[in-house]
């Protein structure tokens, strides 16, 4: 199964893997041998947190993204019109646009989703945590 990392999953996998659950860590390790994915909205979300000084990654967001590309097994997915339309059609009252977009991406592509977010795990059946 292909794996999509939510924003926290991405951050923890790349900077602090000890924060991941055992199951999430196993999924990420499998992802290293194949392909993993992240929505570009996660990079936007991290950038906003860095800009507002709510997150210090110890590296600029530009260098962080460069390092993601260098990994070779993690692909950054654009948010296109299909994702936006799926986002809008989700029968889910959750209002966070980033979370909705990440779930829409996972649903469209039928990916497992690494997330610690309980609201997402309750809604999307293919979560890994």
Q: Whole-model pTM?
A: 0.92
Q: What is the mean pLDDT of residues 13-17?
A: 94
Q: What is the mean pLDDT of residues 56-82?
A: 94
pLDDT score, position 34: 79
pLDDT score, position 16: 94
What is the C-alpha to C-alpha distance for residues 34 and 28, in angstroms, rounded to an integer? 10
- Give the domains, in start order, of the chain with CATH numbers: 3-128 (3.40.50.1010)
80-121 pLDDT, tens per residue? 999 999 999 999 998 899 999 999 999 999 999 999 999 999
What is the C-alpha to C-alpha distance for residues 46 and 7, in angstroms, rounded to an integer? 7
Average pLDDT of the chain, as a whole number: 95
Phi/psi of residue 4, nearest 5 degrees: -110, 130
Q: What is the mean pLDDT of residues 44-61?
A: 95
Q: Assess whether pLDDT exceeds 90 at residue 32.
A: no
pLDDT score, position 125: 96
Helix, strand or coil, per DSSP, at residue 77: strand
Q: Assess whether pLDDT exceeds 90 at residue 3.
A: yes
């Amino acid at each position: 199964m292909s794996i999509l990392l939510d924003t926290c999953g991405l951050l923890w996998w790349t900077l602090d893997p000890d924060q991941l659950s055992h199951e999430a860590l196993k999924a990420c390790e499998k992802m290293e041998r194949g392909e993993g994915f992240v929505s570009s909205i996660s990079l936007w979300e991290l950038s906003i947190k860095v800009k507002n000084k709510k997150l210090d990654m110890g590296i600029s967001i530009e260098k962080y993204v460069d390092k993601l590309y260098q990994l070779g097994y993690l692909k950054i997915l654009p948010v296109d019109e299909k994702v936006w339309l799926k986002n809008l059609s989700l029968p889910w009252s959750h209002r966070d646009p980033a979370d909705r977009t990440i779930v829409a991406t996972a649903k469209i592509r039928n990916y497992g989703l690494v997330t610690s977010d309980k609201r997402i795990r309750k809604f999307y059946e293919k979560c890994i945590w």
